[in-house]
Structures are given as C-alpha cells and as structure tokens.
Structure 1
Amino acid sequence: MKHVLFFSVFSLFAFARCKAPERTFTERLRTSDALYWGDEIYHLDRSPLDGFAGFDTLFSDYPEKRPVTVSMPGYFDHPKKRPCGIQIDLPDTSRPKGYYAINDPFRRDKKYSVLWKIVGDSLYANEIYLYLFEDPRLDARSVYPDNSQYRTLERLTGGEFSETNPSARVEPEAPHGVMPAIWVSGNYFVKPAKTYDEKWFFLPVLRLTFDKGKLINVKKESFR
C-alpha cells in the first residue's frame, strides 16, 4: 500500500513538473484593437469583433502608408528566459496617452483597429483607426468622406453608432458616436499599453468578463 501511495504522489509531482508553462499575455495577444478603461489604454488579447465572419477583411482596399516605427529589443517573454530579447519593430511610444497601441499596433490581425471603451459597466466601440495611414483620422476623410467605414461596421455587427448617446462624450470622445457592444460575452485578457522594455513583463494582466456587453467581473491573473 505504501508503494502504491508513493507511486501516486510521485506521478502527480512528475506531471506537475512536466506540465507546459502558462502562456504569457503576448503569446495570447492577436489583435490590433485596444481598450480605454479607467483613464488608461489596454491591449486586448482578441478583438470583440472576432465572432463575425469577415471582420478581418474589412477596409482591405484602402491605400497603405505605414507609420514610422522604432526598432528596439522586445522583451515579450520573461526576461530571465530571453535576456537578450528579440529585434522587432515596435510602436513609437512617444505618442501621447498610449494611442500607439491602435495607431501602430504590433499585432496586425486586420488593416484597421478599433478603440473600445468601458463607460460605467458597458462596453462600446468608440472609434475606427485605419492605422496604415500616416494620419488615421485626417487621411480617412479623403477615402471615406461620408464616414462610411462606420456604416460598414454597423452592417457587420447589426449595431448602430449614436452621437446622442451620453457615452459618446466620455473621454475619449467618439467623433462619430459610440456603438454598444451588446454581442460581447465571455472573457478577455487585457494589459496596460505603457512600455515595451523588460518592465512590461511585470505589468498586471486582468481578466474582464462580459455578459451581453456588460462588465460583470474583473480578476487579476497570475501570468504576465
């Protein structure tokens, strides 16, 4: 009996030792979208649009002018694992308020990004950025003078942007109204868009749980 018990404990210990390490946030990150919440911009691990077929091919025909990026070591994993980092083009973090997260994203799942925001407990689509333009806001007017990119997103989701919704005037103000993201349910991981040096690994990751566009739970995660 003692031998059986010892073998069982040893097997559990060996399994724990061989268990694959938990994925880091950057290994989960796969979208150019970002979230504004509580006066801070966060990276989202995935787009709230990813449940809609064709979301990643919208606006694929607009002329491309890649923004300026800076090249620096990317500490995307634990610094003890990769002390030398990896050379990769990263956003220019000198841009104000962390907007480089959507103006010049380093995960480009599509040719545009959406800035989402939480007002109270509600999630909204706030603004569309055609980030391959040199000036996403200014240059978009020449391609979509009637702001038809917002109508395109409405047709995809079945929602509607409203300029009269009071949340449109909450920072950051929505230039063409906000659209309640009532289709969003489930978990999303977010991490502050602050810096991309070795300190970024230690910034906290939060799990946000939504139910039909309402934030119902926030949990701090153990992984970074």
Structure 2
Amino acid sequence: MLKLHYNLEKVSMGLVGAIIVAASIGGLVEIAPLFTIDETVELPADLRPHTPLELAGREIYIREGCYACHSQMVRSLADEIDRYGPYSLAAESAYDRPMLWGSKRTGPDLARLGGKYSDMWHVEHLIDPRSVVPASIMPSYPWMTRTLDTRLLSDALATLARLGVPYDAAMIAAAQADAEAQSSPDSDAADAFRERYGERPALRAFDGDPARLTELDAVVAYLQSLGRLTDAPNALLAEGGQ
C-alpha cells in the first residue's frame, strides 16, 4: 500500500485524480442525505419565524462576528443539557438562513439564552461586558446605541419567503413598521404587529427607550428569542425523562 501511494505521488495527474475521487465520495456521503431533508426533518407545529426586529438583530449578530465565539447548538450530552437546557433539534433552525450552530465556544452557547437575563442586563453587557461579568473577555459594542437602519427589512423578508420561511405579503409590506412597533408597545402600530405575529413575540422597549429604535433593540430582541421559537425541545426532553 505504501509503495502504491509512493508511486502515485510521482504521477501528478494520477494523484490529482485520486484526490478528486476521494473528495467526491466524501462529498456524496455528506450531501446525499440533504435531498431527503423534507422527509427527515418534521417542523414543529408551533415553530414561528423571527419578527423583522429579531431578524435585524440576527443580521447585526452576524455582522459583528458573534457566531465566531458563541455556538447555538446544545449537544445531547448530559453535562451540556444540565448547563444549557434541552439539546438542539434540526427543526429549530428550519427558517435560519444561514444557520448559526457553530462549534467554537470562547463564550457560552446561546441556543437557550432567551429569557435567562433581563433586557437591561443584555444592554449593559453589550455596551460594557465587564460591568456585569467582571472576568469577561468579550469586546464592547457601544456603537449599537445608534439608530437601526430598517430600509432593507422588507427585502430581507421577501427573500426569506422565497426560500420557504412563512412570511406573507402583509408581513413583508409592513416589515419596517413592525420592527418599530415591537419596541414601542404603546404605539398605534403595536396592535397591527400582534395581528400579524401573535402573542408569543416579546413586545417592549428592549433598550429601555420606546421613543427611539436602536441596534440594541434589535440585538436584544434577537437574543431574547433564542430557544423560544418553538417548545419542541422542552417537550421532547420531558418525554425522554418520563
């Protein structure tokens, strides 16, 4: 076998061909199951898409590279479940484009972060992480106090709708208004937001100031939604524990 490999290395085109064959077999093994994903991944009945404000926060989360230090995938190991909560299901990320499972954990996993801390804790943590976690090595993001740019939200929802995320025409048309309404619970637009997205998404001034829509509003809204788009993982864990 070693002699065969040695001789193959002396024939450059043969080596290239062998590499292509090996990569093709590995790629086929990884890609083939994806063609049956519609049959193998069953969407939970209560799975909801992100609201426009949460979606804007997700884009900022990606923009700032948060995924490089935080995974969003709890593995089915006892110690992970004890620390973070129910293990992650593929169906939870059915509407994510792209998915943010990740594997790097310079910081803790965030898959079950929603509701764990208050909005103001998140605000302070983003502006000055060491004010709430003295040993934190996370960078500060003071520029997130700037006004949120919502001009592309309708286009973002329209694109995701074409990829199968259940945004209807009314949601797409009202994306900017709904982003502002979600952070201003006493506004006239709040009722229309509830009609489109129901009672489950949080509706409040995430950064503490309902008069101004900021990037902090968006990021905190997104963080508070993590692990709360469906109750399927909790239900599955409860069944397994019985």
Q: Same fold (TM over 0.5)?
A: no
Higher RCO (CA < 8 A, seq sep 6+): 2
Bigger fraction of residues in helix: 2
